Amino acid sequence: MTAGFPTARPRRLRRTAAVRRLVAPPGVRPGNLVLPLFVKEGIREPQPVASMPGVVQHTRDSLRKAAAEAVHAGVGGLILFGIPAAKDGRGSAADDPAGIIQQALGDLAAEVGHDTVLMADLCLCEYTDHGHCGIVTPSGDVDNDATLERYASAAVAQAAAGAHMVAPSGMMDGQVAAIRAALDGAAFGEVAICAYSVKYASAFYGPFREAAEGAPQFGDRAAYQQDLGRAGEALREALLDVDEGADIIMIKPALAYLDVISRVAGAVSLPVAAYQVSGEYAMIEAAAANGWLDRDRVINETLTAIHRAGADIILTYWATEVARRLR
């Protein structure tokens, strides 16, 4: 050894493509990706979502096709959002057996039900005329326990329509326990709960609210979604959901909350999912469209980071494309 030169040479393991391949961890796999899909009632053609280039509100037909493509590419799961033609105060379409999400779940169960995990987003904001995630009281608050009854009913409707997993996203206290009891009571004990356990009151949901037409008509969601500065509360929320019977613990958004993903993954033994949300998608697509970022590399980098932080499962609007690239 020559004096003055380093003995530890980490670069030995990055020197050639062959050695880099040898030491590379398994990384993101298609089967761990979940594709979010929007289906809208009463449209004849898919409707582009302006703030999410490449994402559309599907017709029932185009939804079947997109689902089949995702499954063919190796994507591990689909999560469905329904947008009804008519909304009301209690979100009636959420648990109507003839509601758009139930119809679409039935379509997908028949089309790809044996080959994928069919998940249903379980919330009221897509179905209420006021756009809040629950039942609103005359004073404008969201009534936690009245909302739980609606979630319980929607869970049973989604299970009956063919969902393998329901994914409650409204951040009401006790939602997992209420849904578990309702599913078990209706003989859907095999239907799992992928709980949005840790969900911040984030500005990154902006484009989604265009896609799902669920922006609150007054106020915001800060009275039920979490305060982004408080990391400790994430563990409390996650552990409560474990106790209440969740099967998968989800954290959302992803990229701005890698520390939270890491902490939760270290604290629970259930699979951990992270949702790379609409705003995360939109900002990368917008920068790439301007030629300011290398789109494919940045997509890969963000997914790798989310996986490295501890997410076993990643929900991403790029799921089909990335799955194809990884195969």
The distance of closest approach from Cβ of residue 171 to ligand PBG in the complex, given in angstroms and rounded to an integer, is 8
Please tell me which residue in 40, 65, 87, 199 is annotated as part of the active site: 199
Contact at 8 Å (CB) between 298 and 288? yes
Catalytic annotation on 87?
no
Distances (CA, A) of 21 to 27, 134, 231, 308, 313: 12, 49, 35, 17, 23
Binding site for ligand PBG (CB under 6 A): 121, 123, 125, 133, 169-170, 205, 208, 221, 277-278
Catalytic annotation on 252?
yes
The letter for the amino acid at 303 is: L
Distances (CA, A) of 276 to 131, 188, 259, 270, 311: 22, 29, 14, 19, 11
The distance of closest approach from Cβ of residue 318 to ligand PBG in the complex, given in angstroms and rounded to an integer, is 12
Q: Which is nearer to ligand PBG, 46 or 111 (CB)?
A: 46
Q: Which is nearer to ligand PBG, 188 or 204 (CB)?
A: 204
* Cα 257 from Cα 251, distance rounded (Å): 8
- Tokens (6 digits) for 54: 């490449």
The distance of closest approach from Cβ of residue 208 to ligand PBG in the complex, given in angstroms and rounded to an integer, is 3
Please tell me which residue in 40, 65, 87, 252 is annotated as part of the active site: 252
> Phi and psi dihedrals of 110, rounded to 5?
-70, -40
For 176, the enclosing helix (H) or strand (E) is helix 175-185
The distance of closest approach from Cβ of residue 123 to ligand PBG in the complex, given in angstroms and rounded to an integer, is 4
Contact at 8 Å (CB) between 81 and 212? yes
Q: Which is nearer to ligand PBG, 190 or 227 (CB)?
A: 227
Nearest Cα neighbor of 252 from 34, 54, 31, 26 is 34
Q: Which is nearer to ligand PBG, 19 or 215 (CB)?
A: 215
Q: Which is nearer to ligand PBG, 201 or 267 (CB)?
A: 201
The distance of closest approach from Cβ of residue 44 to ligand PBG in the complex, given in angstroms and rounded to an integer, is 25
Q: Annotated active-site positions, please?
A: 199, 252
